[in-house]
Structure 1
């Protein structure tokens, strides 16, 4: 991140809240944080939705991921059912609201409001190919074959799984899904980003959804080597009261290193958004945009270059490589496993498609092999980059002062 971010008044005040010996870890953690601007978020969400229109049958049924009401721990059915003979059949023509109505004064709308606006705009662009939150009756009438659930971020996966469970409880939905190989219903989940653990949890749901993300979320464990990750996690826990120790790394102990212009996810380390030692957090109540907020200064091309520089510095052994291209950045990240494209995206916080294209290019250059391991040529490239970026010692001056190491009697005495 650029110097004017880390030197921001609020950042400086935040850093002063830590003991002097802990400030380097606080600064490192902050420098690894991936911050997503409103423009980047909207653009990437539109792009990934466009891909859904370009692949598979139409029309799409788009649903906004919102918190589902529950009874005894089970989410209510997504669609109402009525008895037809001995069978129950879903009959709703109107599906769940894009943004739930506020029943009580003071209730707040979260990221679902941002996503709802994007879905509304997308619907206007593809009015004939997209149905926005349709009911079961419309799905049946329009012969919808794809159920697409959209969210901003998959952290632990809890809310996504709750929504899918709400749909899965409907007998008609399970019946449509059972015929998915011919003329039934398939499920997709679309998000800007998600943790590897959250994505895998969603994929393991009974409806077997395909998960599509723009980038995998970097986390403390994915970005840092194990020993350094242990140190940073201990640092995060140290500044939380003992009763909040389980929340120190964020919900589900995720340690997500990402923030959006509309909010900081609760899966991020709590020291970013909770008070500690009577000190104000950097993003109070997970609000990233506000008067004096460093968020704006921490987004953009220069900020991204500095963030990647910090990541590469962590990845490198010895002096960090001078990562001047995306190829050398990815090559440096391949020093340690896992080496799958999703793992690399989560380590670097880069677009998943960019990672996949770069891996193909590295194979063409013969810098990595078919298992994404560095070849001799790849290791040579990194060695040369490190040599070029290593600090050069100052040349010894010939005009230096002479200091005798021993004394002897002059000859003329």
Structure 2
């Protein structure tokens, strides 16, 4: 189900003039929803894959908010970590910390991870890699501030200067802006992301649609909120978690009121997720995710496909990737943003497409790939009265079929 079809979505659309509701619905339906299961599976899988490639042992450190200039560790050889900021509650770092604890326990006998990222434990294990882990990065600022506060302890400065440790970052999702900023700080090979966060700027909308949505965000944003109408850092992010709606989403999606205009019906509740929306953050809600991706790809005929006839998840992902590559993206990061697929899923689908010569090494559709995409569009839902040549035969890419 698309977000604009839900009761809360319909109420939210009622905030806008009738002529503007199409743009508002496009914005709302473009938000990627990440549930607790998807976050845990994606982030845990990313860390487990890094355990095979990064120098061991690895200290897993959940990123949290630090005040400017604040150090993570207090003074002393085995100084403990500082507690939360005053008047602060544990945020996403508590969820990430619980996941990291599960990853350490699941590693078994061949433990590649430091038991806990204290100075004493890292010293005793002769830690080689410090992996800073976060669920999301919209600008890179929070991770960079945490990094400065974490490495400020003399012991860690010494280890780094003697090249005994190296720092890496792992995020479930990051915007293109955050990805670039973090690469400049840590190095291109030291930033690892499970999926790229879509933004207004990376959606393949035409220029008129982009301008109408930006105008909508500016016109209806509450003037009482000291944040850019496109969200923190002017990001225009389009991703929300079941535990939090990041403030880099456009303000009209999470503001609780509109100054001077009573009766505003919010969608998200500031950074909170309403109970009636929480059920949509399901790992298995692939129909909604696919419908959103098809809309972003501007492939209306793909919305008519009976996806149940695509025999495997790999085949479905391949079709989405082929449709995205038809838009001539620059790289796999942009394909991930267009399709809503994770980077590992995009890599697997792209590798399969290359193997079966549906795309070439330059990331362009081959004649065979164009033919497969056109063939898939003919597998329509039963009862559709469209002028398309339907088929009852379960679809499977021709190159994967047994020879006759």
Which TM-score bucket, shorter chain as reference?
0.7 to 0.9
Matching residue of 1:216:
196
**Cα distance in 1 between the residues matched to 2:57 and 2:298:** 48
Within-5 A mapping of 1:11-30 = 11-30=9-28
Q: Structure 1 residue 164 and structure 2 residue 144: aligned?
A: no
Match of 1:96 among 81, 86, 99: 81
1:219 Cα deviation from its structure 2 partner: 1.4
Q: Structure 1 residue 147 and structure 2 residue 130: aligned?
A: yes
Q: Structure 1 residue 200 and structure 2 residue 200: aligned?
A: no
Instruction: Kindly indicate whether the alpha-carbon contact (under 8 Å) linking 2:167 and 2:186 is maintained by their aligned counterparts in 1.
Output: no
**Cα distance in 1 between the residues matched to 2:135 and 2:59:** 17
Matching residue of 1:39:
37
Q: Structure 1 residue 392 and structure 2 residue 374: aligned?
A: no
Which deviates more from structure 2 when the two are superposed, residues 255-264 or residues 331-340? Answer: 331-340
Instruction: Kindly indicate whether the alpha-carbon contact (under 8 Å) linking 2:294 and 2:300 is maintained by their aligned counterparts in 1.
Output: no
Q: Residue 49 of structure 2 aligns to a residue in which SS?
A: helix
Give the TM-score of the pair, scaled to structure 1.
0.80
**1:18-77 deviations in Å (ceiling 9; x for gaps):** 11111112222222211111122222222222223333333211111011122xxxx234
Change (3 A) 1:322 1:377: farther
Which deviates more from structure 2 when the two are superposed, residues 165-174 or residues 39-48? Answer: 165-174
Q: Structure 1 residue 270 and structure 2 residue 258: aligned?
A: no
Matching residue of 2:311:
none
Q: Is there any run of 5+ residues in structure 2 with no aligned partner, and where?
A: 308-315, 389-404
**Cα distance in 1 between the residues matched to 2:71 and 2:226:** 35
Instruction: Kindly indicate whether the alpha-carbon contact (under 8 Å) linking 1:94 and 1:133 is maintained by their aligned counterparts in 2.
Output: no
Instruction: Kindly indicate whether the alpha-carbon contact (under 8 Å) linking 1:168 and 1:207 is maintained by their aligned counterparts in 2.
Output: no
**1:68-106 deviations in Å (ceiling 9; x for gaps):** 122xxxx2344456xxxxxxxxx5324535xx34644xx
Matching residue of 2:233:
252
Instruction: Kindly indicate whether the alpha-carbon contact (under 8 Å) linking 2:168 and 2:186 is maintained by their aligned counterparts in 1.
Output: no
**Cα distance in 2 between the residues matched to 1:133 and 1:208:** 27
User: How many residue pairs align between the two structures?
Assistant: 369
Instruction: Kindly indicate whether the alpha-carbon contact (under 8 Å) linking 2:304 and 2:377 is maintained by their aligned counterparts in 1.
Output: yes
**Cα distance in 2 between the residues matched to 1:245 and 1:79:** 32
**Cα distance in 2 between the residues matched to 1:137 and 1:202:** 28
1:250 Cα deviation from its structure 2 partner: 1.1
Instruction: Kindly indicate whether the alpha-carbon contact (under 8 Å) linking 1:153 and 1:191 is maintained by their aligned counterparts in 2.
Output: yes
**Cα distance in 1 between the residues matched to 2:140 and 2:254:** 21
Matching residue of 1:280:
265
**Cα distance in 2 between the residues matched to 1:174 and 1:112:** 24
1:253 Cα deviation from its structure 2 partner: 1.4
1:145 Cα deviation from its structure 2 partner: 0.3
Give the TM-score of the pair, scaled to structure 2.
0.81
Match of 1:131 among 99, 114, 117: 114
1:166 Cα deviation from its structure 2 partner: 2.0
Instruction: Kindly indicate whether the alpha-carbon contact (under 8 Å) linking 1:313 and 1:320 is maintained by their aligned counterparts in 2.
Output: no
Q: Structure 1 residue 76 and structure 2 residue 100: aligned?
A: no
1:141 Cα deviation from its structure 2 partner: 3.4
1:185 Cα deviation from its structure 2 partner: 0.8
Q: What is the root-mean-square deviation in Å for CA atoms of aligned residues?
A: 2.8
Instruction: Kindly indicate whether the alpha-carbon contact (under 8 Å) linking 2:66 and 2:145 is maintained by their aligned counterparts in 1.
Output: yes
**1:235-265 deviations in Å (ceiling 9; x for gaps):** 2222114575852211111111111111111
Q: Is there any run of 5+ residues in structure 1 with no aligned partner, and where?
A: 82-90, 395-413
Matching residue of 2:366:
375
Instruction: Kindly indicate whether the alpha-carbon contact (under 8 Å) linking 1:186 and 1:209 is maintained by their aligned counterparts in 2.
Output: no
- The structure whose Rg is larger is 1
